[in-house]
Structure 1
Amino acid sequence: MPAAQNFDVIILGAGAAGLMCAIEAGKRGRRVALLDHAERTGKKILISGGGRCNFTNIHVRPENFLSENPHFARSALSRFTPDDIIALVEKHHIRYHEKTLGQLFCDRSAHDIVTMLERECAEAQVRIILNCRILSVRNDARFTIETSQGTFHSASLVVATGGLSIPKMGATGFGYAVAEQFDLRIVPCRPGLVPLVLNPADQARWCDLTGLSVEAVASAGAGKHRASFREKMLITHRGLSGPAMLQISSFWHPGKPLSIDLAPGSTVTAPLLEHNARRDPNAALQALRAIFPARLAERWLDLNHPANWTNTSLSTMEQQLHDWQITPAGTEGYAKAEVTIGGIDTNELDAKTMQSRKVPGLFFIGEVVDVTGWLGGYNFQWAWASAFSAGQAV
């Protein structure tokens, strides 16, 4: 067994947060080791954004994040902003574009972002050790990390191991286990930004229309806890997906209904209410086809046929289109979830540094913390910002 190796900072997890933290700590002259059990860095970065990495969102605000403490993310997000990651991307001459709703993607490939981070690590003299399985973590004045590649000691330990989403990419609950070892509270975890599964009866009604999509407003919750998102909704072979449904999935709770406006901003039945207008199935179908794909228009009319063609009946039809109530049976789980909701309780951490309040020198950053962003680059910005904050403190 090789002799124990000593560093100022050891970071567990070579994803977006771990790489950024290593860069910032290394730039401050810290001796940094970045350990990961995978065979390469940034594996989840590479598959993000359809392979083009939605690396930030220009509209990031603290309100775009879920947490038991909705104010916790404010400090880190103010210290490392979308402008800061854009500056780094531009420094490396990576071309990018705004897709929709402030989402910034690489023009070419997510590989560009990983290469950028690796180059910055090299310049900061970060030592990256891959295929390195963590066997144990101890804290006796200094941290001792036993691994499949030897023993490491450090004054500071940063946990950037991510959440439970996409286990086929190597996701594990290791970060939560470390937190529990040091008696830190964990907010219960669940899949977020995940496709929803319908019950068998609703699958029979809708799921043979797999692949059809419409713009919709999906809503969940009530009062000040109500959330709504207007984006595309996609019918899948098991339920509902697309950006609108992924967004609302983070706010949905089992057993609760969703409200879906399938015709936002439109009055579908208006042509049928005009003077001397036809009021029959063909006229209704024509009106529905103005906003729906033909097969979806036909199915909707089959399942929601007006009782008669009076003004009252047409008003009911209109209302159903704007408030489709449907209760999912569940989600596709962590296998298809883009993020993990929940994680290390933010009350356990200093918002400025991401350091544990109980264990000096122990830091948690990125997805492992109970801060979860909306779809569209928000979670990357949290990774960069929380990592930057810890990197300035270790």
Structure 2
Amino acid sequence: MSASSHDAIVIGAGAAGMMAAAQAGQRGKRVLLVDHNHEPGRKILISGGGRCNFTNLYTAPDRFLSDNPHFAKSALSRYTPRDFLDLVEAHGIVWHEKTLGQLFCDGSARQVVDLLLEECARGQVQMALGIPVDAVDHGDGLFRVTVGGTAYTAPALVVATGGPSIPKLGATSFAYDLARRFGLAVVQPRPALVPFTLGGDEVLFRELSGVSTEVEVRWTKTRFREAALFTHRGLSGPAMLQISSYWQHRTAIQVDFVPDATEGWLLEAKRNSPRQSLRRVVTDRLPERLADALLERVGVAGELVALTDKALRGVEAALRGWAFHPNGTEGFAKAEVTAGGIATAGLSSQTMEARKVPGLYAIGEAVDVTGWLGGYNFQWAWASGAAAGRAIP
């Protein structure tokens, strides 16, 4: 094909890639969208329990992790949750807010994929799906992408292949390998929004598999108040997934199992109902299996009247600041996203273009910008994709 066949080639038909392709195509650019998967938007389809948590109303830059915490501000301010919600409503998709600003489709995640495909069709985006990229070369101001033995050229190349999280969906480190080839730095990728594993003495907590309760979890100055879930391997649930993005190996996380209790609540219970057992008071606030496991570890039992105030304060302190020492996480196989990625220092925050390689753009999860659980990563995909798609000359 001739060099003039395309104005841009987008590699990766996920959320960010389809958004970028649609935005560029609707501006009259000739766009080729490439993906080694036969089906576009595979990660979208499994998101939000199959209903796609497609954005969050409370999106703000401080809800994203990056070596440069200011990098995401520009793109997020220019393509907001309201902008994507307008698109959702224009396509007749019925939605609802679940909790904490999280927006979901009433129907299924397929509706979001269909929306993006329709937007790409409006932009007359050409697609090459189910075909691996054999090679990417650059010279004379053009990128040459060989796909299934066929070479395509364009002056702009958008890298939207994400990170290695959930490899069963075809995720790879392609974006990082390509970035390094072009001289871009990569912040060490790591699993994020991922369950913890427990070992050593804490293996006993695996017996609580299936037990869930609301907690406040803390790591250094970062804290989240959501549900925690014990699993056959360790700790999961929204609270644990959130803190996992910040956690560093060989450090402890602190869990407050009674975040709604007032200070001194056990002493107050002793004054009001001295003949109650400590177990009864604690099980009023926690699932029985969890209460029993925690109290067994604390080693305090009996009627409140028989327990000293010092002992009760000790129990309260333990329940408010229980230290877990994860021995790791379930890794990229179970991580919802990848933290780290292509370093933002080498990219324009306004256009997502590489500073030293004109025409090369990196967007979405491939970049060192990682959002909280709850629709933030999709909003980054829409915002960064729109930034690149609108900037392609």
The answer to whether TM tops 0.5 is yes
| 3-state SS, counterpart of residue 272 of structure 1 | helix
Q: Which amino acid aligns with 2:254?
A: S
Query: Which residue pairs with 1:36 in the alignment?
Result: 35
1:377 aligned partner, one-letter code: G
How do residues 352-363 of structure 1 correspond to structure 2 at under 5 angstroms? 352-363=350-361
After the TM superposition, which of the residue ranges 103-112 and 124-133 deviates more from structure 2? 124-133
Partner of 2:334: 336
Aligned to 1:274, the other structure's residue is in SS state helix
Q: Deviations over 1:243-270 (max 9, x none)?
A: 0000000010000000100000214514
1:15 aligned partner: 14
Alignment of 1:214-293 (within 5 A): 214-221=213-220, 226-267=221-262, 268-274=265-271, 277-278=274-275, 283-293=277-287
What SS does the aligned partner of 1:138 have? strand
- Provide the residue aligned with 1:94 in structure 2: 93
Q: Is the 8 A contact 2:10 2:160 kept in 1?
A: yes
* DSSP 3-state at the match of 1:351: coil
SS at match of 2:33: strand
Asked if structure 1 preserves the Cα contact closer than 8 Å seen for 2:224 and 2:239, the reply is yes
Q: 1:381 aligns with which of 365, 379, 382?
A: 379
Q: Is the 8 A contact 1:271 1:277 kept in 2?
A: no
Q: Which amino acid aligns with 2:270?
A: L
Question: 1:276 Cα shift?
Answer: 6.3
Tell me the CA shift for residue 131 of structure 1: 1.1
Deviations 1:326-349 (A, max 9, x none): 110000000000010000110000
Note closer, same or farther for the CA distance 1:313–1:39 as it changes in structure 2 (3 Å cut): same
Helix, strand or coil at the partner of 1:75? helix
Where does 1:147-162 land on structure 2 (aligned, <5 Å)?
Answer: 147-162=147-162
Distance in 2, matches of 1:51 and 1:301, equals 38
Q: For residue 308 of structure 2, what is the amino acid of its counterpart?
A: T
Cα distance in 1 for partners of 2:290, 2:180 equals: 49
Letter aligned with residue 124 of structure 1? G
Residues 36 and 130, structure 1, Cα contact 8 Å, conserved in 2? yes
Per the TM alignment, residue 306 of structure 1 is displaced from its structure 2 partner at its CA by 2.6
1:293 is displaced (CA, Å) by 1.1
TM-superposed CA distance for 1:272, in Å, is 3.5
CA offsets 1:98-151 (integer angstroms, 9 cap, x no match):
000000000010000000110111111001110121111111121101121510
Aligned: 1:294 with 2:288: yes
8 A Cα contact 1:3 1:151, kept in partner:
no
TM superposition outliers: structure 1 runs of 4+ over 6 Å: 2-5
Structure 1 CA distance for aligned equivalents of residues 38 and 68 of structure 2: 35
Of 171-180 and 140-149, the range deviating more from structure 2 = 140-149
Question: Tell me, what secondary structure is at the counterpart of 2:189?
Answer: strand
User: C-alpha separation between the residues in 2 aligned to 1:69 and 1:283?
Assistant: 52
Q: Give the C-alpha shift of residue 4 in structure 1.
A: 7.6
8 Å contact kept, 1:5–1:152:
no
Counterpart in the other structure of 1:326: 324
Instruction: Give distance in 1, aligned partners of 2:273 and 2:73.
Output: 58
Q: Deviations over 1:58-81 (max 9, x none)?
A: 000000000000000000000000
Number of the residue aligned with 1:351: 349
User: Do the aligned partners of 1:272 and 1:283 also contact (CA within 8 Å) in 2?
Assistant: no
| Distance in 2 (alpha carbons) for counterparts of 1:365 and 1:153 | 20
Secondary structure of 1:60's partner?
A: coil
Amino acid at match of 1:136: A
Partner-residue secondary structure (3-state), 2:7: strand
Instruction: Judge conservation of contact 2:267–2:312 (CA < 8 Å) in 1.
Output: no
Contact 2:298 2:315 in 1 (8 A): yes
Residue 3 of structure 1, CA deviation: 7.6
- The 1:105/1:149 distance shift into structure 2, 3 A limit, reads farther
Deviations 1:8-31 (A, max 9, x none): 000000000000000100011000
Tell me, yes or no, if the aligned pair for 1:194 and 1:333 is still in contact at 8 Å: yes
CA distance in 2, matches of 1:275, 1:42: 58
Offset of 1:273 from its aligned partner?
A: 2.6
Per the TM alignment, residue 275 of structure 1 is displaced from its structure 2 partner at its CA by 5.1
Give the structure 2 partner of residue 53 of structure 1: 52
Q: CA deviation at 1:271?
A: 4.8
What corresponds to 2:106 in structure 1? Answer: 107
Do structure 1's residue 79 and structure 2's residue 73 form an aligned pair? no
Return the offset for 1:199: 0.9
- Worse overlay, 306-315 or 340-349: 306-315
Moved more, 380-389 or 262-271: 262-271
| Percent of aligned positions that are identical | 50
**Against the structure 1 CA distance between its residues 315 and 162, is the aligned structure 2 distance closer, same or farther, given a 3 Å change threshold?**
same
CA–CA distance in structure 1, aligned partners of residues 272 and 333 of structure 2: 53
Q: Distance in 2 between matches of 1:363 and 1:99?
A: 34
Counterpart AA for 1:301: L
- Whole-angstrom CA distance in 2 between matches of 1:218 and 1:198: 16
What's the counterpart of residue 166 of structure 1? 166
